[in-house]
Amino acid sequence: MRKMKNSKKLIFLITGGAGFIGSAVIRHIIEHTEHTVINLDKLTYAGNLDSLANVEKSSRYKFVHGDICDEKSVENILKLHKPNIVMHLAAESHVDRSIDNPKTFIENNIIGTFVMLEQVRRYWSELDDKNKEHFRFHHISTDEVYGDLNFEDTKNSNKSLFTEHSPYKPSSPYSASKASSDHLVRSWNRTFSLPTIVSNCSNNYGPYQFPEKLIPLMIFNALDKKPLPVYGNGNQIRDWLYVEDHARALFLVATKGKIGETYNIGGHNEEKNIDIVKMICSILDQLVPTSIKYDSLIKFVADRPGHDLRYAIDATKIQQDLDWTPLETLDSGLYKTVKWYLDNKRWSASVNNGDYKKRERLGSQT
């Protein structure tokens, strides 16, 4: 893909840029535009600078090791690098971990967002009128804030979908913390006129995802001939979004989205968890055949507390307003994902070490 020309070269400050989605956004910007990226990341367990190896030597990329909860650090970074756009992705994001340790999610997702908003507001208020007019604070969130779509709707021909106006009904400490941060962002726009935009996405998958999430966990466990743990009966439905499609959408929202608006980003791929696992097994049967069928490793385990049954995004608004649609189907995206993990053993080994070798279940508290 050729680089997109832009008359004004922008400076992006991206929080959580060493994470799964954040690193995809950074790779997209550096590889396909002429803009500059400052990556602010604390490098917690899921942050991995190896995910940025392809862009780390670019003169338009800089990594800053820091914590979004550290007010002075955020203030200094803003003053030094003078970003035009802040994309706030830094967050704790694993539901199971939020059940085991809610406090971390409150601190990072709520307090961290508050710190970012306040420091960005002060920075923005001191900009000249021209730079102030073109500044954006883009907050990246999740469809999980909307809660559980009614299962009865899945039996109807006209299924209900999450729209930008769906009420918030979070079910887990994770989704509640993200809902709280969404509300903070919107209130800073309404009260202080800070130019904010919010986007809510469906389940992401693709290269460089930490193997606590369903798809990479199934791939790694299958390759190691370990059980493939599926919660409950596996009938939970998710809308699956390839991460590189999401990165393209986020760039469009940040640069062309309307201030004060919300954009839902979905993959148009609703599928049951059990069927996703079976699809992965089928791809592995094709690419890495063994004496057993990989789906024989599937093991149903007790469901996690408060597990939502169905999420599904209506992405009509971003399609109509910003001309975005996903390029990957679920078949093509899953195949690319499995193939990537097979072809990138060094990256996989870098996250498959230490305590995580056990790949033990989290979030089983009741």
Residue 240: which of 143, 151, 164, 152 has the closest Cα?
143
DSSP sequence for 290-302: -SS-GGGGEEEEP
Query: 42 in a domain, yes or no?
Result: yes
Lowest mean pLDDT among 26-35, 151-160, 325-334: 151-160
Instruction: Please tell me the predicted confidence (pLDDT) of residue 155.
Output: 47
Per-residue CA distances from 316 to 241, 256, 283, 313, 319 (Å): 15, 16, 31, 9, 5
pLDDT band at residue 352 using 50, 70 and 90 as cut-offs: confident
pLDDT band at residue 366 using 50, 70 and 90 as cut-offs: very low
Residue 69: CB atoms within 10 A of its CB come to 17
**Alpha helices by DSSP H, 224-329:** 243-256, 273-287, 316-322
Among residues 143, 182, 239, 314, which one is catalytic? 143
Instruction: Please tell me the predicted confidence (pLDDT) of residue 360.
Output: 55
Query: 167 in a domain, yes or no?
Result: yes
Instruction: Please tell me the predicted confidence (pLDDT) of residue 153.
Output: 47
Interaxial angle between packed helices 330-343 and 273-287, expressed in degrees from 0 to 180 and rounded to the nearest 10: 50
Question: What gap in Å lies between CA 12 and CA 82, rounded to an integer?
Answer: 9
Q: Does the global pTM surpass 0.85?
A: yes
Dmax (CA) for the chain in angstroms is 67
Query: 225 in a domain, yes or no?
Result: no
Query: 89 in a domain, yes or no?
Result: yes
CATH number at residue 200: 3.40.50.720
Residue 110: which of 21, 23, 170 has the closest Cα?
170
pLDDT digits (tens, 9 = 90+) for 61-107: 999 999 999 999 999 999 999 999 999 999 998 788 888 899 999 99
Q: Can 143 be counted among the known catalytic residues?
A: yes
Question: What gap in Å lies between CA 22 and CA 41, rounded to an integer?
Answer: 10
pLDDT band at residue 34 using 50, 70 and 90 as cut-offs: very high
Question: What gap in Å lies between CA 124 and CA 195, rounded to an integer?
Answer: 9
Collapsed DSSP state (helix, strand, coil) of residue 87: strand
pLDDT digits (tens, 9 = 90+) for 183-241: 999 999 999 999 999 999 999 999 999 988 999 999 999 999 999 999 999 999 999 99
pLDDT at 288 over 60: yes
pLDDT at 1 over 50: no
Number of domains observed in the structure of the chain = 1
Range of the structural domain that residue 113 is part of:
11-207+240-269+307-328
Query: 364 in a domain, yes or no?
Result: no
Burial group, residue 245, by CB count within 10 angstroms (0-12, 13-18, 19+): buried
Among residues 96, 144, 270, 308, which one is catalytic? 144
Question: What gap in Å lies between CA 78 and CA 75, rounded to an integer?
Answer: 5
Residue 315: which of 214, 243, 246 has the closest Cα?
246
Q: Integer distance in angstroms from the first to the last C-alpha of the chain?
A: 49
Mean pLDDT across the chain: 92
Instruction: Please tell me the predicted confidence (pLDDT) of residue 308.
Output: 85
pLDDT digits (tens, 9 = 90+) for 12-22: 999 999 999 99
pLDDT digits (tens, 9 = 90+) for 162-179: 999 999 999 999 999 999
Instruction: Please tell me the predicted confidence (pLDDT) of residue 154.
Output: 46
Query: 286 in a domain, yes or no?
Result: no
In the block, residue with structure tokens 């995802």 = 209
Query: 73 in a domain, yes or no?
Result: yes
Mean pLDDT of the region 41-61:
95
Contact 301, 233 (CB under 8 A): no
Query: 292 in a domain, yes or no?
Result: no
Q: Can 314 be counted among the known catalytic residues?
A: no
Q: Can 148 be counted among the known catalytic residues?
A: no
**Burial 37-57, CB ≥16 within 10 A → b, else e:** bbbbbbeeebbbbbbbeebee
